[in-house]
Amino acid sequence: MHLSPIPSVTGIEKKEFTQQYVKNGQPVILTDFISGSPALEKWDHDYFRAVAGDLRVKVHGKEENNPDWVTTPPLGTMLLNEYLDSIEAGPSELRLFLSNLLLERPVLKKDLKVRKIIDHLLPSLPFLFFGGAGSSVRYHYDIDMSHVFLTQFQGEKKVLLFRNDQSPLLYRLPFNFHGTADLRRPDYDRFPALRYLHGWECTLKFGDTLYIPSGHWHYIQYITAGYSVSHRALSASILERAIGLKNIFITRRIDNLLRKIYQERWYNKKVKMAHKRAAARQRTGKSLFHI
């Protein structure tokens, strides 16, 4: 893999941000996306315990437990108090994924203020993500094709990003939006196309907001236990919005139906197809994009 650092900017205005990053599909770290938010001063585990400790939350485990599913089903539920205790105790694979905590406890949402640096921002739909040290999120791209603004609060995360045109080199499973390789420990003998990947990497720290352009693949690893908030913005591209709707209402449903009919045979067929496409990309020019 060939990875370049993601730059950081402060004070960039909407027009410049759109021209330089949105239109070019370039990720960037914004250091002031949530400047002035009370959450920067108020939020910590004890505050979450006081506000929502009695809330029962869905807990997710290792992504590789369900390699054929778009989203890994939760392992079960825990009280938020119990979950926070578990990730404070030491390394843990347990995660809260796309948590609606901010909607279920509106007082938390009031603590967040974001800069309207892009059109079609959806500030009313924030999601929280918690993870224990060492846990990770399987590399994928978001099926609705929205732009994502991922703000880190407690802890640190390592993030890898790749353009969507890198999909064959990432062994994307047909009818899915993720692949099966381990980007933390790349096996270049088993997945030789990974050698030709070009992307970006960064470590998100307190107060950083990573702009993830529409359709970009992202792999996230929790270096330490922590949490972040994501905000979404609809793509200005009618084509990307149409692809997002197709992914949600057609592609995913076809995959679920074929999985139900053919079970493991369907997954095995998709793996073979992914390797065949990766090999074809290697023969026809390897990576189409160089940073």
- 214 and 147 in contact (C-beta within 8 Å)? yes
49-88: b or e for each residue (b if 16 or more CB lie within 10 Å)?
eebbbebebbbbbebeeebbbbbbeeeeebebbebbeebe
- pLDDT per residue rounded down to tens, the chain (291 residues): 899 999 999 999 999 999 999 999 999 999 999 999 999 999 999 999 999 999 999 999 887 777 887 677 889 999 999 999 999 999 999 999 989 899 899 999 999 999 999 999 988 789 999 999 999 988 999 999 999 999 999 999 999 999 999 999 999 999 999 998 999 899 999 999 999 999 999 999 999 999 999 999 999 999 999 999 999 999 999 999 999 999 999 999 999 999 999 999 999 999 999 999 999 998 876 544 434
Say what the pLDDT of residue 286 is. Answer: 53
List Cα–Cα distances, 277 to 130, 166, 259, in angstroms: 34, 11, 21
User: Residue 286: in which H helix or E strand, if any?
Assistant: none
Say what the pLDDT of residue 253 is. Answer: 94
Tell the CATH superfamily of the 2-283 domain: Cupin (2.60.120.650)
Instruction: Give the type of residue at 154.
Output: Q
For the chain, the farthest-separated pair of C-alpha atoms sits apart, in whole angstroms, at 57
103: exposed, middle or buried (Cβ count in 10 Å: 0-12, 13-18, 19+): middle
Say what the pLDDT of residue 60 is. Answer: 92
Say what the pLDDT of residue 123 is. Answer: 80
Say what the pLDDT of residue 65 is. Answer: 72
Q: Which two tokens stand for residue 135?
A: 């846990």
- 212 and 161 in contact (C-beta within 8 Å)? yes
Q: Where are the domains of the chain?
A: 2-283
**Total-model pTM:** 0.94
Say what the pLDDT of residue 282 is. Answer: 87
Say what the pLDDT of residue 10 is. Answer: 96
